[in-house]
Chains A and B, each alone.
Chain A
Amino acid sequence: MSLRTRLSAAAVGALFAVGVAALPAQAATTDSGAALTKAKAAVTEGLTDRLSTLADLQTRLTAAKDVPDTARTTLSTLLSSDLSALTALKTKVAGETTVAAVRADGKSMVDDYRVYLLVAPKVHLTHALAAETDAVAKLTKIHDELADRLAKDPQADTQANKDLLADLTVQLKSADTALDGREQALLALKPSPDGKALSDAVKAIGGSAKSAREDLRKAVADAKKVRDALKDGKAKS
């Protein structure tokens, strides 16, 4: 093999080596661009969904007339604040240049706001707790009115109806206990990275609201039976 041939072969080999060495770097650059685009799209979609949910929650809060003013103010402030912050985060994500930065934004989107895990249940459960608290007050008045009517209606003033009123009282007390302090506890919850702890806290309050609702339904059933007895008494007299 001549020197010229050897030099040519070496040159080709060197070029190949350089090419092979360069390929992974080129591939990495391409993957990084695609990964950044993909990461941005995923986080932006998450932000868009959360912004839509927050807007929906604002509408629901406005429609929920029985939410107390203090709670309404707290929730309105929270929703407005989250809407502003997540809108700003969306702009920030669009300007990120690295996947790591987008990942950090995505983590912030979840951990710092907890729109689905905490904010949405806050609005729904505050409404539920307010409606149930209102129902306790109304059913207490109805109990007193029914007791008054029974006392004036010898035909309906039976032991069975007295027992129904007694059970109504028990159900109202049980509901009242289940509701006591729950709204304050719910509104005091803050977003955190510990999703399980938050989820457990929210579920506990949701369980209390459900328990109170069941008690109140029993109380309504008791009241309806006594009312029916009063109606029957009037129909016979």
Chain B
Amino acid sequence: MKSRIASALAVLACVAALSACSGKSSAGTGGTSPAGAGAGSSSAPAVGAAADSATGSGTGSATGTSGAAASTDSHGVPAGPDGDLSSLDQQLSDIDGALSSAEPTHTADDNG
């Protein structure tokens, strides 16, 4: 009888130990094995998302294009809001301004 009880207890102890090991395994892999976690499919998107929020969107707003919009369109032209034509607008506007500033503000004075 005693041996049966001892066996039952041993089985329970084994089950408890196994379940404990199982719990540790799922929780501990990431903590103890960074390389494995980095390669893991569950953590990669999180890292990617963090990177996106830290740098991706910042870059997008600075250049006026999102990460997806920075690709080229079907014609190979950068696909910004106007295919980056806004840059041309600015350049032409600058030239207009420079030409206006080149308008004479003084005419030759015959008084010497």
Contact = CB atoms under 8 A, between A and B. Distances in A.
A99 interface: no
Contacts of A142: 88, 91-92
A234 interface: yes
Contact of B98 (A117, A121, A135, A231): A135
Contacts of A199: 108, 110
A230 B85 contact: yes
Interface stretch (B21-29, B30-38, B52-60, B76-84): B76-84
B112 A213 contact: no
Contacts of A220: 92, 95-96, 99
- Secondary structure call for the B interface: loop
Contacts of A202: 108
11 contacts: A120-B106, A120-B109, A121-B108, A127-B101, A131-B101, A146-B88, A153-B77, A206-B107, A213-B102, A224-B92, A234-B85
Interface stretch (A14-22, A26-34, A73-81, A108-116): A108-116
Interface of A: 66, 109-111, 113-118, 120-121, 124-125, 127-129, 131-132, 134-135, 138-139, 142, 145-146, 149, 152-154, 195, 199, 202-203, 206, 209-210, 213, 216-217, 220, 223-224, 227, 230-231, 234, 237
B99 A111 contact: no
A75 B103 CA distance: 19
Contacts of A125: 104
B111 interface: yes
A85 to B, nearest CB: 15
Contacts of B104: 124-125, 128, 206, 209-210
B75 interface: yes
A154 B99 CA distance: 33
Given A120-B109, A121-B108, A127-B102, A135 B95 contact: yes
Closest 5 CB pairs between A and B? A116-B109, A110-B112, A128-B102, A131-B102, A152-B75
B108 A223 contact: no
Interface centre among B89, B94, B104 (most CB of A within 10 A): B104
B77 A152 contact: yes
A209 B102 contact: yes
A115 B108 CA distance: 10
B41 interface: no
Nearest to A217: B99
A114 B99 contact: no
A124 B106 CA distance: 7
